[in-house]
Amino acid sequence: MESIVMSVGGSLIAPDGIDTDFLARFKALIEQKLKTHTYRFIIIAGGGKTARRYQDAANEVAKLDSEDLDWIGIHSTRLNGHLLRTVFKDSAYSVMVTNPDDILDVPKDKALVVAAGYRPGCSTDLRAIQIAERVGARKVINLSNTDYVYTDDPKKNPAAEKIEEISWTDFRKLIPDKWDPGLSAPFDPIAAREAEKLGIEVACINGARLSELEQYIDGRPFIGTKIS
């Protein structure tokens, strides 16, 4: 089976409330793919707005350092991860993975594994890259709520241009050099460096367009951005 590592943004799981429509459609697609016995999916949950809301609330009451904020984010990813694991309870491995090394202990016949954040200092994007390295995956899918990576934030700059394909060297010029808790970027800068070093391709796809996710999984042209 081909291992596919996928990071699912918290903005898709719980944009305001929990998006049960997305979860149902995502579940249907993944379970359809599992029936082919062609793929093994490792799905990493992000924290998204849930993390930022808790981080903002905590900061209003007490002055927190970056490690405190990271831990809030990590536990937000774990909450979202447990939600995904229970949604997939009939097909997912029964234990959610947090330490990337633990993926090696999961039986190879378990074709669906859910993972979440581990330690401070990075986002779940890095965990996706680390898990990909351990299972020998050469591609990582990053699902978010945007269609492409852009030259700038399109919400702030109407002149921002979409990017369909970009090298890691050029991509890293578009994002900050350092990780910051709550950072909203197409891909974590630490994860980007690691992916470039390992030669891992990342496809950034809008999770609302699950047909495009299927296109990429099947090796067909898709709407999104390929970083390699």
* pLDDT attached to residue 182: 58
Is 38 within 8 Å of 173 (Cβ atoms)? no
Task: Find the mean pLDDT for residues 164-179.
Answer: 91
pLDDT digits (tens, 9 = 90+) for 119-171: 998 888 999 999 999 999 999 999 999 999 999 888 888 899 999 999 999 99
The CATH number covering residue 14 comes to 3.40.1160.10
Using a pLDDT cut of 90, give the percent of the chain over it.
83
* pLDDT attached to residue 221: 97
Say if residue 185's pLDDT is above 80.
no
DSSP 8-state class, residue 65: -
Domain range holding 29?
A: 2-227
How many structural domains comprise the chain?
1
Separation of first and last alpha carbons in the chain? 23
* pLDDT attached to residue 179: 75
Say if residue 181's pLDDT is above 80.
no
Kind plus residue range of the DSSP H or E element containing 216: helix 210-217
